[in-house]
């Protein structure tokens, strides 16, 4: 592209246009991931309402949520891609299938943690570990580079998350199961990290909807045998259907679409830090609705979390594009 501008004698103009486009792309991706974090921050609250208002367990909620999202994704992807929906290399198709299985498993583990720890702790623990794992693996395996700004944002985000975890009270509906809940949350964290890295590795090569339209049905099919041991019932009160449909449409469709779109133009490390908005939103909702209280240090942690995201928003778009190109070639 630069050679083409030079041949026309317009190198300066070309660089200016490219920089403007890069800045706009960077900002759009950033906004997409902020939207993702906010939307996903409501998942724990919706799940807790479902646990309280219905007899559904974590397995059933996770499966039904993904099942509701499947036809929506397939319809949107078919409209956008038509018969090219499954046009991808075998390796990428296998990755998409694997991502769908990982997604529904870590969603299930997250709901189990919510039921035992409460919304705030489950969400915060689940999302505190992935940025560290993603950053380490991205540097070692994907060739991403951590500059001072990203490292500072990572430290600030983790410190803020730790303060949020350590200074809130409340809890799950199952007493005496804290250790088990923490293990479920840590398992969820590993799943999230794997999903971020896998999604980022194919994001630049495919339409946003392709991995989702293939992944969600794959997860539903893989998870179906677990439903055989469950007493599946769809006789739910109206409020139960509302929250189930909400989980299936808003976080599962809108949230993951924004997430996949943002990953196309931002590094995996940056994406994992930005989506730490999720625990902040979850903590605020849990405090407001379920009386899972945050102390002064907890709110300081929230401010640190927000500050880290602001620091990331100031990152050079050129650096972000360079990192993204390195990952796409990995």
pLDDT at 31: 87
Whole-number Å distance between alpha carbons of 35 and 107: 19
Whole-number Å distance between alpha carbons of 125 and 161: 8
pLDDT at 275: 67
pLDDT at 63: 92
pLDDT at 170: 47
pLDDT at 94: 95
Strand partners, 294: 168
pLDDT at 17: 35
Whole-number Å distance between alpha carbons of 18 and 21: 5
Whole-number Å distance between alpha carbons of 166 and 181: 15
Contacts of 23 (CB under 8 A, 6+ apart): 317
pLDDT at 177: 65
Burial category of 82 from C-beta neighbours within 10 Å (exposed 0-12, middle 13-18, buried 19 and up): exposed
Whole-number Å distance between alpha carbons of 4 and 48: 57
pLDDT at 126: 81
Whole-number Å distance between alpha carbons of 204 and 57: 36
pLDDT at 214: 95
Cα 152 to the chain's mean position, in Å?
21
Residue found by looking up tokens 């293939």 in the block: 214
Residue 147 region, left (φ>0) first, then alpha (ψ -120 to 50), else beta?
beta
pLDDT at 176: 46
CB atoms within 10 A of CB 279: 32
CA angle 304, 37, 157 (to 5 degrees): 25
The two tokens of residue 60 are 């059933």
The b/e string for 42-68 (b: 16+ C-beta within 10 A; e otherwise) is: bbbbbbbbbbebbebbbbbbbbbbbbb
In sign, the C-alpha dihedral spanning 295, 297, 302, 306 is positive
Which helix (H) or strand (E) segment holds residue 205: the answer is none
- pLDDT per position in the chain (330 positions), as tens? 333 333 333 333 333 333 444 556 778 888 888 898 899 889 989 998 998 889 888 889 999 999 999 999 999 999 999 989 998 999 999 999 999 999 999 999 999 988 887 787 787 778 766 776 777 677 777 666 767 777 777 787 778 767 765 654 444 555 446 778 888 988 998 998 888 888 878 877 888 899 999 999 999 999 888 887 667 777 889 999 999 999 999 999 999 888 888 877 777 667 766 766 787 788 788 878 877 766 677 778 777 766 776 676 565 444 444 433 333 333
Q: What is the pTM of this model?
A: 0.73
DSSP-derived letter for residue 294 is B
Residue found by looking up tokens 């409020």 in the block: 239
Strand partners, 168: 294
């Amino acid at each position: 592209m630069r050679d083409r501008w030079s041949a026309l004698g317009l190198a300066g103009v070309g660089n200016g246009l490219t920089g403007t486009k890069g800045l706009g792309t960077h900002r759009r991706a950033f906004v997409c991931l902020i939207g993702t974090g906010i939307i996903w921050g409501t998942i724990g609250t919706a799940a807790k309402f479902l646990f309280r208002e219905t007899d559904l367990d974590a397995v059933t909620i996770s499966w039904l949520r993904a099942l509701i999202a499947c036809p929506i994704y397939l319809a949107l992807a078919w409209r956008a891609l038509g018969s090219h929906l499954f046009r991808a290399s075998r390796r990428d198709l296998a990755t998409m299938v694997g991502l769908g299985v990982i997604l529904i498993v870590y969603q299930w583990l997250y709901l189990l943690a919510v039921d035992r720890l409460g919304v705030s702790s489950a969400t915060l623990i689940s999302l505190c570990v992935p940025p560290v794992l993603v950053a380490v693996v991205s540097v070692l395996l994907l060739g991403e580079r951590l500059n001072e700004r990203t490292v500072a944002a990572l430290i600030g985000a983790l410190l803020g998350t730790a303060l949020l975890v350590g200074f809130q009270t409340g809890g799950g509906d199952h007493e005496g199961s804290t250790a088990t809940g923490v293990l479920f949350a840590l398992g969820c964290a590993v799943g999230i990290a794997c999903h971020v890295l896998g999604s980022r590795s194919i994001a630049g090569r495919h339409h946003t909807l392709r991995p989702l339209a293939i992944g969600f049905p794959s997860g539903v099919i893989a998870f179906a045998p677990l439903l055989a041991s469950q007493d599946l019932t769809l006789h739910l009160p109206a409020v139960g259907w509302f929250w189930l449909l909400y989980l299936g449409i808003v976080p599962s469709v809108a949230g993951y679409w924004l997430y996949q779109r943002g990953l196309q133009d931002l590094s995996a490390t940056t994406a994992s830090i930005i989506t730490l908005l999720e625990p902040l939103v979850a903590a605020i909702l849990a405090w407001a609705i379920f009386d899972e209280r945050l102390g002064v240090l907890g709110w300081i942690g929230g401010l640190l979390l927000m500050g880290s995201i602001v620091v990331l928003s100031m990152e050079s778009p050129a650096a972000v594009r360079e990192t993204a190109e390195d990952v796409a070639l990995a």
